[in-house]
A = this chain, B = another copy of it.
Amino acid sequence: MRKPFEVTVLGTSSATPTKYRHPSAQYLRLEGNYILLDCGEGTQRQLSRYGLKMQRLSHVFITHLHGDHYFGLPGLITSMALFGRVEPLIIVGPPNLETIIRAVLSESDAHLPYELNFVTTQFDQMRKVIETDAFEVVSVPLQHRVPCTGFLVKEKGPERKLNLDACFRYEVPVEFYDSLKWGEDYQSPKHGHLKNDQLTHPGYKNRVYAYITDTIYDESLVPILKDVDLLYHEATFLHERVARARETFHSTSLQAAQMAKMCGAKGLIVGHFSARYQDATPLVEEARTVFPETEEAVEGQMYSVGSEVVEYSVHS
């Protein structure tokens, strides 16, 4: 069984909540790891509505300081405190996010029973902002009206599986098995230099989820997003409003699909819909004309990141 890597969409509106939609937030699960991407107003209630435990979250990533992407964060932080959190929470976001959050907290008498650690995003180039044993997150500068970054969430882990027959044959000691899984070669005292693919099968390729919002259509992202397993790309407008999209530094659904196609994404989710589209069907249909594997971001719905199994190709 492959480790689960799933995204649950919590908000699909742009700019403001509507009667039918919440502002941006997504809950990511990568096996035992849980992170939040953006935290629009109402996110804590959306988490509770869909039975997702806020205390499991280790990291929150904020793309930019427009309210529809972080006005739910003060409430999430204080609710975590009220419910007795002790584990630290890491918040990744623009430089002034910490100032705002600390100011808000200092007006309350709630001394957090847990540590809040901030990591600052930067807007000049891509940066690895978080690295754990299980995943790493890279911030990607986007072109929006205020400083903004998208995020690449990259699974980490061995991508090779042992070819046990070969390992026995070449008498590889067990203590080298881990490094083989991570792709290293083995220097055998008896058999000489053994290349990794003589001792392993291809396993699962590490998966990448790309969270790209808010941004103008920007082809310079293509190499950065190359071959991602699942791309979430904002699609604020239908393409008939491309001028308005450009003016407000947003994208059309067609452009989101073009981006998915050009970068060779395996799947695309479109969201961040303007309040003018109560029904997102036309936006999804527009994207599918270019990129058939497009899904609509639906609140409460879970999406698998790269669910396909890589075929075995035996080298030994």
Binding site for B on A (CB under 8 A): 15-19, 22, 41-42, 44-45, 48-49, 65-68, 71-72, 74-75, 78-79, 82-83, 94, 96, 99-100, 103-104, 107-110, 145-146
Q: How far is the CA of A278 from the CA of B287 in the complex (A)?
A: 43
Q: What residues on B are CB-neighbors of A110 within 8 Å?
A: 66
Specify which of B17, B66, B107, B145 is in contact with A100 (CB 8 Å cutoff).
B107
Q: What residues on B are CB-neighbors of A100 within 8 Å?
A: 100, 103-104, 107
Q: What residues on B are CB-neighbors of A82 within 8 Å?
A: 15-16
Q: What residues on B are CB-neighbors of A16 within 8 Å?
A: 44, 75, 78-79, 82-83
Known contacts A17-B75, A42-B42, A67-B108; 12 further A-B pairs (Cβ under 8 A):
A16-B82, A17-B44, A19-B45, A19-B49, A41-B71, A42-B45, A71-B75, A94-B107, A100-B103, A100-B104, A103-B103, A108-B146
| Sampled A-B contacts (23; CB under 8 Å) | A15-B79, A15-B82, A16-B83, A17-B45, A18-B48, A19-B45, A41-B41, A41-B42, A41-B71, A41-B72, A42-B42, A66-B108, A67-B74, A67-B75, A68-B75, A71-B74, A96-B107, A99-B103, A100-B100, A100-B104, A100-B107, A107-B146, A109-B145
Q: How far is the CA of A15 from the CA of B79 in the complex (A)?
A: 8
Copy tally for this chain in the complex stands at: 2
The answer to whether A19 and B48 touch across the interface, beta carbons within 8 angstroms, is yes
Q: What residues on B are CB-neighbors of A68 within 8 Å?
A: 75
The answer to whether B75 and A41 touch across the interface, beta carbons within 8 angstroms, is yes
Specify which of B41, B45, B66, B107 is in contact with A44 (CB 8 Å cutoff).
B41
A213 CB to closest chain B CB (Å) equals 16
Q: What residues on B are CB-neighbors of A145 within 8 Å?
A: 109
Q: What residues on B are CB-neighbors of A41 within 8 Å?
A: 41-42, 44-45, 71-72, 75
Q: How far is the CA of A44 from the CA of B67 in the complex (A)?
A: 13
A220 CB to closest chain B CB (Å) equals 22
Q: What residues on B are CB-neighbors of A96 within 8 Å?
A: 107
